[in-house]
Amino acid sequence: MKKEYIIPIFVPNLGCPMDCSFCSQKKITGQQTNVTVDDVRNTIEYYLKNFKDDNKYVEVAFFGGSFTGIDKRIQNELLEAANEYITAKKVNSIRISTRPDYINKDILKRLKKYNVKTIELGVQSSNNYILAKSKRGHTFEDVKKASKLIRLYGFKLGHQMMVGLPDSTELDEINTAKDLIKLKPKMVRIYPVLVIKGTELEREYKKGEYISLGIEQAVERCKEIIYLFRKKNIDVIRVGLQNTSEITDPKEAGSDVVAGPYHPAFRQLVEDSMWYESMAEKIKKINMKVKEVEISVNPENVNNVIGHKKENVVKLKEIYDLDVNVKPNENIKPGKFEIKVIETY
């Protein structure tokens, strides 16, 4: 199986006509200047030198959220620079992220020419009131139309949604996930809303008009959404914003995060919580008072069983008065576990 590598290239805000209340792309991406053709080539060369595997699949990813909205000439120049490496068989494909209202047949035909394989849409919500409240500038009807076209033209479809937008409830977010599932994306990203300096959301937060989610709230909401996507075999490729020099703990000097559920290992918190639920469910089904169990798990999931800062084993002890021994076992498939009773009361 080929190891997959992504070469990220951030193109912040160049093509976006909107000023979404939560958004500051230059701070979110850590990219303060516009990207040039030389930047693309230099970035690709840098990453290629550091990829060690011979058997690999390499994808250049133009992130930033509105790639197909930037000047067509600049689009073509950036895509051509990346496509040179596909022609040279050093890179396999290109992916982009863009707005749903910046997709049409002509755009898709042009992207095909440059070996773009994956298109991610910034959806954020399927609720039109919430989209308008956040000043997204598009409706969910735009999302449906763009998603259908992307799939029709043979691209892999990705969606990005947010948790904790102004006036958005847990039910709204569950409904968004269900609505996205109907559009058949191959992958999704889930981003809890952070309050970033210099955004309209910061002003609303400081006036008390917006209340950000706490970490536990955000974990619970993301967890329920992930369950829905996984039931339909939709890959959740990211949960939480990537850390940058600006997107870091609000307590740190230089952080542009004012409030919200920031955590450097946010996805791990969500995954660990999901593991805890699965383990607790099995333990409750044991028809005896158990004092100690052994949980066998694939080595790559040992930390999920233990939990961040041993939170899962501590919680099992507090709630079930239960000692847990974790045993790595390569014969167990990743994502699975077995429980063996060691001692009863």
Q: What is the pLDDT of residue 128?
A: 97
Q: What is the pLDDT of residue 192?
A: 96
Q: Do 210 and 316 fall into the same domain?
A: no
CA distance 133 to 177: 19
Q: What is the pLDDT of residues 157-203, one digit of tens each?
A: 999 999 999 999 999 999 999 999 999 999 999 999 999 998 999 99
Q: Do 229 and 113 fall into the same domain?
A: yes
Q: Do 125 and 217 fall into the same domain?
A: yes
What are φ and ψ of residue 249, in 5° steps? -55, 130
Q: What is the pLDDT of residue 32?
A: 46
User: For residue 297, what are the domain limits?
Assistant: 282-344
Contact 99, 134 (CB under 8 A): no
CA distance 344 to 332: 25
How many domains would you assign to the chain?
2
Q: What is the pLDDT of residues 255-296, one digit of tens each?
A: 899 999 999 999 999 999 999 999 999 999 997 889 999 999
DSSP β-bridge partners for residue 8: 61
Using 70 as the pLDDT threshold, list the residues of the chain that sit under it.
13-33
Read off the CATH number of the domain in which 214 is found.
Answer: 3.20.20.70
- Whether 274 maps to a domain, the answer reads no
3-state SS assignment for residue 6: strand
Q: What is the pLDDT of residue 14?
A: 55
DSSP β-bridge partners for residue 158: 120, 187
- Of 235, 264, 293, the position where a domain reaches its end is 264
Q: What is the pLDDT of residue 187?
A: 98
Contact 40, 78 (CB under 8 A): yes
Q: What is the pLDDT of residue 24?
A: 55
Q: What is the pLDDT of residue 21?
A: 52
Q: What is the pLDDT of residue 283?
A: 93
Q: Do 96 and 237 fall into the same domain?
A: yes
The pTM assigned to this predicted structure is 0.90
Q: Do 186 and 323 fall into the same domain?
A: no
